[in-house]
Amino acid sequence: MKRSNPWLMVLFWVIISFLTLFPIYWLFVISVKPAVDLFSTPDIWLTKVYWQNYIDVLNDRTLRGYMMNSLIISSGNAVLCTTLGFLTCYALSRFNLPGKESIFFWTITNRMAPPAVFLLPMYLLLTQVYRVGDFALADTRIGMILVYCTFNLPFAIWTLRPTLDGIPRELDEAAYVDGASPLRVIVEVVFPLARPGLAVTLILTWVFAWNEYLLAATLTNFNARTLTTGLSEYVTTTGTEWGIMAAISVFTLIPALIVFSLVQRHIVTGLTFGAVKG
């Protein structure tokens, strides 16, 4: 297709881009319209901009707290899962552990199961098992970080293992011959070479935690409530505030776009690293 008619390829990508970006554009259009205009004849063009929805969101102290919870929980979960996944994959790739392939497959099964399966056991763990006196992990940021590890840590291990397998063991052995300690080998030899894969794992686990709704809506009440769950508060018996919900949704897109823009050059490298061995 590319050789025979380059314009056909251009048209194809224009259509794909339109189908991908139009829902985001339509979301922004809804966020800058008053409630009266939303139920009139749909107009895809912005004839006038109504910023009051964004002003209401920014002035809402509760929503600002939800956004801070989302940032802390997502960042903490991404760092924890990436660190543990890196150490796990290093052990799987460097040591002849008995049954390591079974261990690898067992961790992936947690990712295969739907999140709803874990709601009841997670709730009991946070409210009853992990409890010291009056303190429990339910409705806490630490508790939600650990809950998200149930799903994001297997993904981190699955993503990082090809990266660690693609780093030759001869580099480790050469460092050991020069007198380096195991910790120094990890920090100064393996870690720099694995940075593209680590960047991809960090961003994807961060986005997964940032966008998650079901577990946060079930396991949090107020203290650790995230921004995505705040959307449900605008669906009431008296009506649905579509404009404010759209404005909140736009705010949820901004941090993800910023993080993607910072590490986009590592994404392709990290996803293909270790795919082909020499």
Give me the pLDDT at residue 173, please.
85
- Segments making up each domain of the chain, as ranges: 1-50, 61-272
Mean local confidence (pLDDT), 44-65? 83
Give 147-176 pLDDT, tens digit per residue: 999 889 998 998 888 888 888 888 888 888
Give me the pLDDT at residue 133, please.
64
At the topology level of CATH, where does 61-272 sit? MetI-like fold (1.10.3720)
Give me the pLDDT at residue 98, please.
80
Give 207-222 pLDDT, tens digit per residue: 899 988 888 988 888 8
| Cα 92 from Cα 7, distance rounded (Å) | 48
Percentage of the chain beyond pLDDT 70 is 90
Interacting residues of 271 by C-beta distance below 8 A, sequence separation 6+:
200
pTM: 0.82
Mean local confidence (pLDDT), 55-61? 86
Mean local confidence (pLDDT), 128-132? 72
